[in-house]
Structure 1
Amino acid sequence: MTTTTSHKATSYQRSAWAFLGPGAAVVVLVLYLPVLYTVYLSFTTYSGLGSPVFAGVANYVALVQDPVFVTSLVNTLIWVAGSLLIPVGIGLVVAYLSFGLKGAAWLRVPFLIPYALSGVAVGIVFGFVLQNGGALSQALAFLHLPGSETRWLQEAPLNTVVMILAASWQGIGVNALLFTVGLQSIPKEPLEAARVDGASGWRLFRFMVWPLLRPSTTIVVGLSIVNSLKTFDIVQAMTQGGPNRVSETLGVSMYRDTFSNSDYGLGSAVAIFLSIITVAASVIYVRRQLAIGDSSGDTASKDA
């Protein structure tokens, strides 16, 4: 009996590995090996020709001492803050105000259409609008309004702010959709009981809807943090990190160092640094949300 059971378990494990093996091999080949190679390159001097020459931590020391890297890091943090305040905040407002309205799905369609565009396409469109003498400047001049002479994409940090607004135009819709899904998953009974007790408007949202919306909020904010840390396409399409690299993000710096300057070692160091802060930010945020959820559950249990 025991031998038969052991044989069946072994056969089952072999079958499982037969199915898992190809997928695991692809993940290792496409994901893990390039990461390990990038880590190796970050400790070398390599121009793409010849063989990499080991340089220790020289690339990381150069990053810390490079004022452009500091500017890129600051711009990336501005992107994180802007992405949380604007597309996430407005997406939540759109989802909450349209939830339950007749034809609400059609009301959200105009916000979702920009999400179908690529980041490069959005960057090109807004670059045409915001360039010197572009559509916005011409419209302001025609209406005799101030700002027609403003160099939207040439002055820092104004160029970073307007690029965040462009990215927000694209991202509001999907955030509203995710929040709408979260609102649909909230049980109706607690909300109806709160309304009977006199809660409405801001009080209803603050003390009932917002806590019950926490799982969706965790997902939306987590995705926003990760995506904003990796910002590349819109910046590259609108300013290429200029002028004089004042609007670069870490993603743009990584691309410039690696492919434009052919300094694969320094570019790899930027990539590893960006990966570390992305993973760290994600882990810290998720653990904090889980801790808040556990404390809320303990409080509810004690009250019960």
Structure 2
Amino acid sequence: MAAPTVTAPAAPVRPAPQNPTRDAYRWPARVFVLPGLLIVAVLLYLPFVWTSYLSLTEYNGLGDPEFVGLEKYQAMFADAGFATSLRNTLFWVLGTLVFPVGFGLLIAVLAHGIKGSFWYRVPFLLPYAISGVAVGVIWTFILQSGGALDEALMFLNLPGADLRWLLDAPLNTFVMIAAATWQGAGVNALLFGIGLQSIPKEPIEAARLDGASGWTLFRTMTWPMLTPLTTVVIGLSIVGSLKQFDIIWAMTKGGPGASSETLALTMYKETFVSNDYGFGAAVAVFLTVVTVAASVIYLRRQLADAKGA
């Protein structure tokens, strides 16, 4: 007869030990963070709350705002000029993602691995040191009617000398995106170059031994390893394109008429040129919501893809 099996009693479950060090530093850490939170609240949140209130009022900068509810938002969405600004802003977002980011990546990949590659990137990086207004002035000299580009095309007997680069829409928006590309591609190339240098060499060498090269090597190995940096670059590009102002103001001031305005220019002109603070505030609130929503949706999608990988 087999002996009965004796089961040892289960060990009592003890609570996880507390970390007195972490608890001791929790409140001091909050005290140190508090000044930064107050600065953010004063410089960002409170102005946004005040702007949101102004968007519900009729106000010309003098006297007291008169509450009108959602009238300014209704007028904004019914305005044909707002639709043009929204279209041009979309052009800027798409153009900034394709050209400055795309050219920056291309420059970084072509220069990567070349001895003294930094000096190949310097000519593309120099325009980034120039202010947006200066970039607009330079490109206005090139693209204005009878400007440097028209003279060069006429001298070389090439087509395009009769084009009104800054006067016809949406051509004026496209050439201003080209100016922004000239300014921004270099810094994107620098960022992508740093990302390429941080990629470990062992997986790349293993892929080369397996026969991968050229586009296949870049698509299957290099590009996935650049994903974290690409997320940052594209996120910054989206936010920057939604707020683009200085180059457009220096080159066309949103004209002729309002044909090249973006949401940022519409906000400025309605507030400080037309003195319609309520309408300008409504555009500002709409632009803020779009910018935050675009950033959050993009980052959440990238983080979800990273977790699923």
TM superposition score normalised by structure 1: 0.92
**Aligned-residue offset at 1:239:** 0.3
What does residue 121 of structure 1 align with? Answer: 134
User: What are the residue-to-residue correspondences of 1:159-238 with 2, within 5 Å?
Assistant: 159-238=172-251
Kindly provide the amino acid, as one letter, of the partner of residue 249 in structure 1: T
How do 1:1-304 and structure 2 match up within 5 A?
A: 12=25, 15-296=28-309
Q: What amino acid maps onto 1:104 in structure 2?
A: S
Write the deviation string for residues 175-201 of structure 1: whole angstroms up to 9, x where unpaired.
Answer: 111111111121111101000000000
Identical pairs, percent = 60
* Alignment coverage as a number of residue pairs: 292
Task: Provide the TM-score with structure 2 as the length reference.
Answer: 0.90
Deviation at 1:107, TM superposition (A): 0.5
Secondary structure at 1:266's aligned position in 2? helix
Give, in whole Å, the separation in 1 of the partners of 2:293 and 2:253. Answer: 27
Aligned partners of 1:155, 1:67: CA distance in 2, in Å? Answer: 18
For residue 294 of structure 2, what is the amino acid of its counterpart?
A
Q: 2: distance between equivalents of 1:294 and 1:151?
A: 49
Give the match's secondary structure for 2:72. Answer: helix
1: CA distance, partners of 2:39 / 2:245: 26
Whole-Å separation in 1 of the counterparts to 2:30 and 2:203 = 46
Instruction: Give distance in 2, aligned partners of 1:221 and 1:188.
Output: 25
1:162 counterpart SS class: helix
1:146, distance to aligned residue in structure 2 (A):
1.8
Separation of aligned partners in 1, 2:35 and 2:287: 29
Per the alignment, in what secondary structure is the counterpart of residue 216 of structure 1? helix
Deviation at 1:52, TM superposition (A): 0.4
CA distance in 2, matches of 1:107, 1:61: 52
- Unaligned residue ranges in structure 1 (runs of 5+): 297-304
Q: Which residue of 1 aligns with 2:14?
A: none
Task: Please tell me the residue identity of whatever aligns with 1:271.
Answer: A
Task: Tell me the SS of whatever aligns to 2:305.
Answer: helix
CA distance in 2, matches of 1:289, 1:30: 29
Q: How far is 1:293 from its partner?
A: 1.4
Whole-Å Cα distance in 2 between the matches of residues 291 and 278 of structure 1?
Answer: 20
Q: Give the CA deviation at 1:9.
A: 8.6
Out of 30-39 and 9-18, give the one that drifted further.
9-18
Structure 1 residue identity aligned to 2:83? V
C-alpha change, 1:8 and 1:87, in structure 2 (3 Å) is: closer
Q: Which residue of 2 aligns with 1:299?
A: none
Structure 2 match to 1:302:
none
Partner of 2:223: helix, strand, or coil? helix
- Aligned partner letter, 1:141: M
CA deviations over 1:187-220 (Å, ceiling 9, x no partner): 1111010000000000000111111110011111
Aligned-partner Cα distance in 1 for 2:86–2:24 = 52
Q: Name the structure with the higher helix share.
A: 1
Q: Which range moves more in the overlay, 58-67 or 10-19?
A: 10-19
CA shift, 1:13, in A, is 5.6
For residue 134 of structure 1, report the CA deviation from its aligned partner.
1.1
Who is 1:300 aligned against?
Answer: none
Secondary structure, in 3 states, of the residue corresponding to 1:35?
helix
Structure 2's unaligned 5+ residue stretches are: 1-17
